Amino acid sequence: MPRVSVIMAAYNAAPYIGAAVGCLVAQTLGDWELIVADDGSTDDTAAIVESLATRDGRIRLLRLPHTGSPYAVRRRAVQEAAGQWIFPFDADDLLDADFLARLVGRADRCPDAEMILCALHVFSGEDAADARQDVPVPGVDAGRVYTCRELLPLTLGQWQIAGNGLFDGALFRRGIALTEPYADNPFADELLLRVMLTCGSRAVIEPARYLYRMQAGSVTHRISYSRYRNMQTDMAMYRLLPDELHPALHRHLYNGIVCALLRLGREGWPADCTRRELDALLRQAYDCLDFDSLAGSVSGPVFRIMRLGYRPARAVLTAYGRLKG
């Protein structure tokens, strides 16, 4: 049984997947398997992986019909995974050569840990030489052992830790089962990490570099309905996360709604959904807010606008977003 099962969802990733797999082949730790779940690619993605698999028996390809959901495709790869640890790895990202060795070594030194998180370095274009560390942010102690729930608040609001690393196989599968209703949501991975932090016991951070390629056409950059669907997973946290986190969840959701309304003013309503559809989503999120728990913990002027009700708040904040451009 391999120590690490690397799971990779791929769709039309031909320009990048060879380099990503090459990073694995170059790892100083060789005790891994790679399961590439191809989401019905129409380019040479599958052919590239098949060619690599003929040269390295640790690589397997799963050909799947197109779903458009990386999360659902990755879930299928997990069903094939045999390793103690599961490592989700995107088909367009890169790793330093000692990445797996450092994370597995940290796991061996911390046998109670079920999550070995890493450092996320962001780059754009073809060259990772200019990659800059995004998370963990300064002040997060990578030398200590955390309870998983200690780390959960660091994912609310601005992300202060990475959602990447090694995850105990049983914990990962439990998280997948709990988040299955959100498999088609582009933010399902963020919800999955938060659920695992709720269910897990111990976690550590080993600051080995995961090199994340920032794509200009990603969900978080396009003017589209998908960009707002984080509201669906944010609302799901009320059911899936413990009650003691609900005040932090209210602030997280409140700030998300404010940012969404300002963005609508700046960018306009997305063309890939009806105004009614997006308005209903934002109204549903607004109705989840507990304004009594928010009093004193968020900005006064905006808070007073938000308390007027959803429609007045939408009108004022979108108008302000338009004005500020």
Whether residue 256 is predicted with pLDDT greater than 70 in this model: the reply is yes
Q: Which of 87, 95, 101 is nearest to 119 (CA)?
A: 95
Predicted confidence at residue 324, as pLDDT, reads: 83
More confident of the two residues 296 and 109? 109
The tokens describing 105, both together, are 């070594």
- Beta carbons of 110 and 204 less than 8 angstroms apart: yes
**pLDDT value at residue 221:** 54
pLDDT band at 299 (very low <50, low <70, confident <90, very high): confident
User: How does pLDDT run across 25-53, given as a tens digit for each residue?
Assistant: 999 999 999 999 999 999 999 999 999 99
The three-state DSSP-derived secondary structure of the chain is CCCEEEEEEECCCHHHHHHHHHHHHCCCCCCEEEEEEEECCCCCHHHHHHHHHHHCCCEEEEEECCCCCHHHHHHHHHHHCCCCEEEECCCCCEECCCHHHHHHHHHHHCCCEEEEEEEEEEECCCCHHHCEEEECCCCCCCCCCEEHHHHHHHHCCCCCCCCCEEEEHHHHHHHHHHCHHHCCCCCHHHHHHHHHHHHCCEEEEEEEEEEEECCCCCCCCCCCHHHHCHHHHHHHHHHHCCHHHHHHHHHHHHHHHHHHHHHHHHHCCCCCCCHHHHHHHHHHHHHCCCHHHHCCCCCHHHHHHHCCCHHHHHHHHHHHHHHHC
Instruction: Report the pLDDT averaged over residues 176-180.
Output: 95
Read off the pLDDT of each residue in 114-120 and give the average, rounded to a whole number: 98
**271 — pLDDT class (breaks 50, 70, 90):** very high
Cross-strand pairs, 110: none
Banded model confidence at residue 155, pLDDT cuts 50, 70, 90: very high
Angle at alpha carbon of residue 215, lines to 226 and 88, rounded to 5°? 80
Give yes or no for residue 219 having a pLDDT over 80.
no
Average pLDDT (201-230) is: 85
CA separation for the pair 69, 71 (Å, rounded):
5
pLDDT at 254: 96
Residue 166 exposure: Cα atoms within 13 Å on the Cβ side: 29
Total-model pTM: 0.93
What confidence tens digit (pLDDT) does each residue in 84-101 have? 999 999 999 999 999 999
- pLDDT higher than threshold 80 for residue 286: yes
Q: What is the pLDDT of residue 250?
A: 92
Question: What tokens does 261 get?
Answer: 């309304």
The mean pLDDT value for 264-290 works out to 95
Tell me how far apart the terminal alpha carbons of the chain are, to the nearest angstrom: 55
Q: Which two tokens stand for residue 258?
A: 């404010």
Question: Is 219 within 8 Å of 227 (Cβ atoms)?
Answer: yes
- Mean pLDDT along residues 133-151: 96
Residue 95 has what pLDDT?
A: 98
Burial 118-156 (b: 16+ CB within 10 A, else e): bbbbbbeeeebeebeeebbeeebeeeeebebbebbebbb
Asked if 92 and 205 touch (Cβ cutoff 8 Å), the reply is no
pLDDT at 126: 80
pLDDT the model gives residue 222: 58
**CA-to-CA dists, residue 151 to 8, 79, 87, 140, 323, angstroms:** 25, 27, 19, 10, 38
Res. 287: pLDDT tops 90: yes
Calculate mean pLDDT across residues 65-79: 92
Burial annotation 197-227 (CB, 10 A radius, 16+ → b, else e): bbbbebbbbbbbbbbbbeeeeeeeeeeebbb
What's the confidence (pLDDT) of residue 154? 96
